[in-house]
Structure 1
C-alpha cells in the first residue's frame, strides 16, 4: 500500500516549487501519495521560510502540534530556508524531528528520509543539473526554476546564507521542462529565481551562455504556450534590452514584480541594493511608456536602521508616482547572519509601526482609485481555479484576479471578460460572447 505524505509550505513561490520536487521524488522512489490530513500521514514535512522572524517562530509551534497529533510511527521532517539556517539546532529544540533538509539539498529528500536524525544543509551543494521527477500542484500552470541561490549581498537578507551562491540552470534543461509542462496541459509558465533577470551569469559546468532576455525568447517559441510570468527581476539588472523584450513579446504577461525595498537612495545604499531612487523611477517610466497598462507590484521595508522621516517620505513619493497594484510591506525585522543585524541605529518600534500604517493607508487609497477604473474594461482571463458560489477564477494578462459565474468546463481556457463589479481583492465579470 502507498504511504501518505502531508506537506506544509511556508514562504515564496520557490518554496512551492521545492515542495513539488520533494513530492515527486517521494512518490517515485518511496511510493508516497499526498494527503490533506496530517493525522493520517506517514510523513509530515514542513518546508520553511526564514526571510522574516514570524515564519521561524511559527515553525516550532507547528512542530509541537504535529508531534501531538501524528500517528504512531509517523516521521517529521523540516526542510527549506530555516532548515539551512538552524540545521541541527532544530533537532536539539524538537528531538522528535527525524531529519532536517536545507533549501539547497532538495534532491536528497529520499536519502535523508531513511537516515534518522540526518541533517543535510550544505548551501554549496549543486542541484542545477539534477533532473527532478515531475509533479505539479496545478495542471494549468507550471513553476519552472531557472536558477538557484543568490549572489547579492543585501544587508537585510538571509537568503544568500540559506540558498547559497547563484547558479543558473542549463538552458536546455529549462526548455525541456517547459516543453514537458506545456505537453501535459499547462498554458502558463512561471519562471522562478532570486534574481531571474541575472540569469546566465554563472553555470556550474560548460554550458551555452544565454541571458534572461534570450531565454524568454526561446521559451516563447514553444507551441501551445500562451503565457509567461516570472519573479523576481532585480531593478539593477533591468536593462533596455530586457524591458523592450518584456514590452513587445506577446506571450510575456504585462505584470512585473519590481522589489523597491525603499524609495530613499541613502537607505538603498545602506541596504546594498545597487540602484538609486532615480534609477528605479527611470525604469518604471520607460516601462510605462512602452506598456501603458502594465501592472506593477513591489516589496517595501519600512524602519530600516537609520531611516529618517525624509527617507520614509522618499518611499511614499515613489509609491505615489508608480501607483503599484500590489505592495508586500513589512516593518524591518533583523535577521541573523545579516550585516544589518549588527547595525545600532535602529528605528523606534512605535515609529516603525506608524510608518507601516501610513504606507498601507496610502496604498489602499491608490488601490481604491485604480480598481474603480477597471469597471467596464475587457480582459483576457486564463481560468484555473473553482471558487465557492458557482464562480471560476483566473488572472488577466496584467495579473488582476477575475471571477465569473461558470463551471469546471472553463478551467484551462482563456476568454475575454468584461468587468461588471470591482473590489480590492478581485474583479467580477461576464464572458464576452
Structure 2
C-alpha cells in the first residue's frame, strides 16, 4: 500500500505551485499518494504564508490540531515562508514537528523527510534550474514559476527575507514545462513570480540568453495547442509601453491585469519604497485602457500604513473612483518582522484603520454593483475548469469574469460562449449559447 500525504496550503498561487512541486517529488521519489483525510496520513505538510500576521498565528493553532488528530506514526513538516523566517523556533514552540523547510528549499523535501528535526531555510539556495517531477492539481490549467525571490525593498514586505533575491528561471525550461503541460491537456498557462515583468533581470549563470518578460510572452504564445496565458503579479514600475502593447495585441494573453497599487498617495508610496507615484500608476492605467478597452484591472491596497493621514487615504479613494477596479484585495497594514516599516512609530489608530478599510470596501462594492449591472445579457467566451456540487460548472472569461452554467464534467476543459442571465458580485450565472 502507498503511503499517504496530507497537505494544507496557505497564501498565494506561488505557494500552491510549491505544494504541487512537493507532491510531485514525494510521489515519484518516496511513493506517497495524496489524501484529504488527515487521520489516515503518514505525512502531514502545512505550506505557510507570512505576508500578513494572521496566517502566522493560524499556523500554531493548526499544528496543535494536526498533532491531536494524526496517527502516532505520522510525521509533520512545516514549509513555506513562515518556515523561512521562524526556522528552529517552530520546533521549539511545537516540538512534535519533524522538520522545517523554507520557501527557497522546496527541492529538498525528500532530504528533510529522512532527517528528524531538520531545518532547511537557506534563502540564497538556487532552485532556478532544478528539474521538478511533474504534478498539477488541475488538468486544465498549468501554474508555472518563471522566477523565484524578489529584489524589491518594499518597507512593508517580508517576502525578500523568506524567498531571497530574485532569479529568473531560464526561458527554455519554462517553455519545455509549458509544452509538457499543454501536451497533457492544459489550454491555459498561469505564469507566477513576485514581479513577473521584471523577468530576465538576473539568471543563475551568464550562459542563459537575456530574455525579458515581453519576449517570454511572445515565445510562449507560439506553443501549438495553448489557448490562453495569464500571469501575476506585474509591478507597476516595470509596465513599459512595449509590455502593455504586447498585452493588448497578443490574442493568447488574457485581458486581465493585476496592478498592485498599495496606496494612492505618492507620499505613502515613497514611504513604502514602491518606486512609482500616483501619477505614474494612473498613466499606466490610461495607457492600458487606451490600447485595450476591454481589460479588467484588479489591485492590492493596504490601508493605514504608518503615517497615512486622512489626506493620504483620500488620495487612495481618488484612485479607486478614477480607475474603478474590477477586483480589489484590501487589508489593514500588518507589521511584519524583518521589515523596515516594523520600526515606524507613526502608527495609525486601530479604529481609524478599521473605518478606512470598511469605507474602501463599501466603495468597491458600490463600484462593482454599478459595473455588474451592465453585464446582463452579455456573451463571453468561457473556459470551464471547476465542477461544482450543485450541478453547475464554472470557468472564466478572457477578462477574468467567473461564470457558472448548469452542466456536467463534459464541459471541463472546453470553451463555450455563455450569455449572462443572473448577476452576483463574485460570480455570474449564465447559459451556454454556442
Shorter chain as denominator, the TM-score bin is over 0.9
Aligned with 1:129: secondary structure?
coil
Aligned runs of 1:38-49 on 2, under 5 Å? 38-49=38-49
- Tell me the distance in 2 between the aligned counterparts of 1:92 and 1:217: 49
- Tell me the distance in 2 between the aligned counterparts of 1:107 and 1:290: 41
- Tell me the distance in 2 between the aligned counterparts of 1:142 and 1:232: 16
1:122-157 CA distance string (max 9 Å, x none): 000000000000000000000000000000000000
Query: Corresponding residue for 1:376?
Result: 377
Aligned with 1:297: secondary structure?
strand
Query: Corresponding residue for 2:432?
Result: 431
- Tell me the distance in 1 between the aligned counterparts of 2:39 and 2:374: 47
1:388 deviates by 2.6
Query: Corresponding residue for 1:107?
Result: 107
Q: Does 1:292 align with 2:296?
A: no
- Tell me the distance in 2 between the aligned counterparts of 1:52 and 1:311: 22
Aligned with 1:126: secondary structure?
coil
Aligned with 2:61: secondary structure?
helix
Aligned with 2:95: secondary structure?
coil
Aligned runs of 1:211-250 on 2, under 5 Å? 211-250=212-251
1:100 deviates by 0.1
Q: Does 1:165 align with 2:175?
A: no
1:387 deviates by 1.1
1:399-418 CA distance string (max 9 Å, x none): 01000111111000001111
1:202 deviates by 0.1
1:333-363 CA distance string (max 9 Å, x none): 1000000000001111110000000100100
- Tell me the distance in 2 between the aligned counterparts of 1:387 and 1:28: 30
- Tell me the distance in 1 between the aligned counterparts of 2:389 and 2:135: 26
1:283-342 CA distance string (max 9 Å, x none): 001111111111111000000000000000000000111111110000001000000000
Query: Corresponding residue for 1:344?
Result: 345
Q: Does 1:59 align with 2:56?
A: no
1:377-413 CA distance string (max 9 Å, x none): 1100000011132111000000010001111110000
Query: Corresponding residue for 1:24?
Result: 24
- Tell me the distance in 1 between the aligned counterparts of 2:407 and 2:339: 49
1:236-281 CA distance string (max 9 Å, x none): 0000000000000000000011000000000000000000000000
- Tell me the distance in 1 between the aligned counterparts of 2:52 and 2:430: 37
Query: Corresponding residue for 2:198?
Result: 198
Query: Corresponding residue for 1:392?
Result: 393
Range moving further from structure 2, 112-121 or 401-410:
401-410
- Tell me the distance in 2 between the aligned counterparts of 1:289 and 1:402: 26
Query: Corresponding residue for 1:89?
Result: 89
Q: Which runs of 5+ in 1 are unaligned?
A: none
Query: Corresponding residue for 2:98?
Result: 98
1:161 deviates by 0.1
Aligned with 1:67: secondary structure?
helix
Query: Corresponding residue for 1:139?
Result: 139
Q: Does 1:401 align with 2:402?
A: yes
Query: Corresponding residue for 1:264?
Result: 265
1:430 deviates by 1.0
Aligned with 2:18: secondary structure?
helix
- The number of aligned residues is 433
- Tell me the distance in 1 between the aligned counterparts of 2:278 and 2:426: 29
Aligned with 2:46: secondary structure?
strand
Q: Does 1:12 align with 2:19?
A: no
- Tell me the distance in 1 between the aligned counterparts of 2:216 and 2:140: 22
Query: Corresponding residue for 2:123?
Result: 123
1:72 deviates by 1.5
1:21-53 CA distance string (max 9 Å, x none): 000000000000000000100000000000000
Range moving further from structure 2, 62-71 or 382-391:
382-391
List structure 1 segments (4+ residues) > 4 angstroms apart after TM superposition. none
